[in-house]
Chain A
């Protein structure tokens, strides 16, 4: 019963193939979108954390400043040549360094510096023995 068909008909399974392809594409787009946005959110969280860390250290430094001004002896504050120096850690690698002039309480330094790791360990180099 072979008819000469004037129009070509979509084969059986043609629409299945199309739908499988479309579903795959759509899923890829959706997952990519979600992944991108989640990565952005993580970065934003890191930024917010960095700001929180700085202000936490800043508040601590202000507290010590106020205590020094009221005449208290604060542990951790080094006084040399009329200048009070102390540090407040911001993160693992950053420290807030403060230098104040003792008499006038002028702020000489209120600076975040990168903490250098001081490694004094020597590497054991094999010397042939």
Chain B
């Protein structure tokens, strides 16, 4: 006849294992949610950055090419239509492209 206390202890041991397993799984889910949240914030900022750059190019001003870990690559695209300048704006985060925009504007004769 086992002591009640040792039975409780054994049961607790099993339950610790069960809880550790489920906690590990939940921790993984939390980590995934955190990563997705960071990606979302980054995407929002990338969209605004690209938009600002496109508008600056259209106005003939210098665009902001970097902000807080995100950086832009503005590549001028050759255009078949005379009088039109085209560019492709890509926002990168640590060498990964997050958002791309293509824009064009009229070439004003000097």
Contacts and interface: CB of A to CB of B under 8 A. Distances in A.
Direct A–B contact in the complex, CB atoms closer than 8 angstroms = yes
B101 A52 contact: yes
Interface residues of A, number: 40
Interface residues of B, number: 41
A14 B7 CA distance: 12
A16 B104 contact: no
A111 to B, nearest CB: 16
B110 interface: no
A49 to B, nearest CB: 10
Contacts of A62: 84, 104-106
A16 B54 contact: no
Interface string B35-70: 011011001100100110010000000000000000
A14 to B, nearest CB: 8
A30 B26 contact: yes
Interface string A35-65: 0111011001101100110011011001101
Nearest to B43: A44
Contacts of B33: 30, 33-34, 36-37
Contacts of A18: 15
Interface of A: 9-10, 12-16, 18-19, 22-23, 26-27, 29-31, 33-34, 36-38, 40-41, 44-45, 47-48, 51-52, 55-56, 58-59, 62-63, 65-67, 69-70
